[in-house]
Chains A and B, each alone.
Chain A
Amino acid sequence: MQAIMRTEANRVIRIRGAQSAPRIRLICFPYAGGNPEEFRAWADEIAPDVELLTIRLPGHGSRIRERPHADWEPLLDDVVTALAPYLAEPHALYGHSFGGRLAYEVAHLVEDEYAGRTRWLFVSGCRSPDWPQRRPFMFEQSDPELRATLRQMGGMPDELLADNKLMKMLLPTIRGEFRLAEIWGDRHGYGVNVPITAVYGRYDEIDDRAAMRGWPIFSRHRGELLEIPGGHFFFATHRRDLITIINTRLGVIRWAE
């Protein structure tokens, strides 16, 4: 019985409920290989009226034995099915890097199914749909090359990268998500009718200002491009700057504090 409940519940993670009736839900999408539990660090900083949700994709946490999706369609189907009850209600979407691409694709699907429910789209450390992916692809690298790339990118502790047993388990998921991130492009030919806030890191060498400058035109509503300090993982190192931007845009920040 517990196993069945777990299967149903293990896709959506409620990081924190709103402390009053939720004005809005913020649904967060992790970067490639990123642990959704990292969003637990947001719980104390996101505005009190926001409910914070994230998603556990195949190959992560309790879904560790599931293979990552080989294409965007089954991934989106999985995500939208799991999130359906929340996507039918007012919400905002946030994603970093691979998660930014996923958030944008979900916004497109919501527009078809539940028009107007997505109130804001936040993307960070994520090239715009029209910006060409840097070659050669990381997902085509051998395991040792990919580990070296991950070390250089700086998102994973060296100790973990040196652990053969854990890396053997984690690499297929990382590679699969890199692949989807790298083959992704403008799948629609037009933007979403949702305000977009795109945030790049001043020292990000993967998705720099040039790679993100195109985002505002992918909103048919309004779009903005913002800079915060930090490299590609400003998501973690400059969390407060990022959350302040989100809180302000959601209009629920407590100015008195």
Chain B
Amino acid sequence: MSESLGATHDDVEQWVIEVCQNLGLPMDEVAADFFEAGATSLTAMKLIARAEERYGQDALPPDDLFAGSSVQEIAASIRRNGNRVAKG
């Protein structure tokens, strides 16, 4: 896990971290896991809604979020599915 500590956050990862913190979850690095940090299905619903507001409809499919819930994985799903995001 230590190799991810030094990884630079891209914009989407940074956005995910900020929203998660805003939802009250203690997450501050890209390896942090949404559900391990205490998120419930209700928190998931809120994150999905915010992702859609910011990155477009279906930007974060629920099954993607549940299947891979680290900041990195969430950001990768948004990059794949969002229609208002630089694909990089």
A residues near B (Cβ < 8 Å) are 35, 37-38, 40, 60-62, 64-65, 156-157, 159-160, 163, 165-166, 169-170
Contact = CB atoms under 8 A, between A and B. Distances in A.
A63 to B, nearest CB: 8
Contacts of A65: 63, 67
A159 B45 contact: yes
Contacts of A165: 48, 62
A157 B42 CA distance: 7
Contacts of B40: 35, 37-38
Given A61-B66, A165-B48, A170 B41 contact: yes
Given A37-B35, A166-B45, A169-B62, 13 more contacts: A35-B40, A35-B41, A37-B40, A40-B36, A61-B35, A61-B69, A157-B42, A160-B41, A160-B42, A160-B45, A166-B44, A166-B48, A166-B62
A166 B35 contact: no
Contacts of A170: 41
A2 B51 CA distance: 25
18 contacts: A37-B36, A37-B38, A37-B40, A60-B66, A61-B35, A62-B69, A64-B63, A65-B67, A156-B41, A157-B42, A159-B45, A160-B42, A163-B45, A166-B44, A166-B48, A169-B62, A169-B63, A170-B41
A62 B66 contact: yes
Contact of A40 (B38, B44, B45): B38
A169 B45 contact: no
B48 to A, nearest CB: 7
The binding surface of chain B is classed by DSSP as helix
Interface string B10-46: 0000000000000000000000000110111110110
B68 interface: yes
A108 B63 CA distance: 34
A64 B45 contact: no
Contacts of B66: 60-62, 64, 169
Contacts of A163: 45
Contacts of B62: 165-166, 169
Interface string B40-63: 111011001000000000000011
A239 to B, nearest CB: 15
Nearest to A59: B66
Nearest to B36: A37
A62 B68 CA distance: 6
B51 to A, nearest CB: 12
A159 B67 contact: no
B14 to A, nearest CB: 21
A138 to B, nearest CB: 19
A62 B67 contact: yes
A159 B43 CA distance: 11
B41 A166 contact: yes
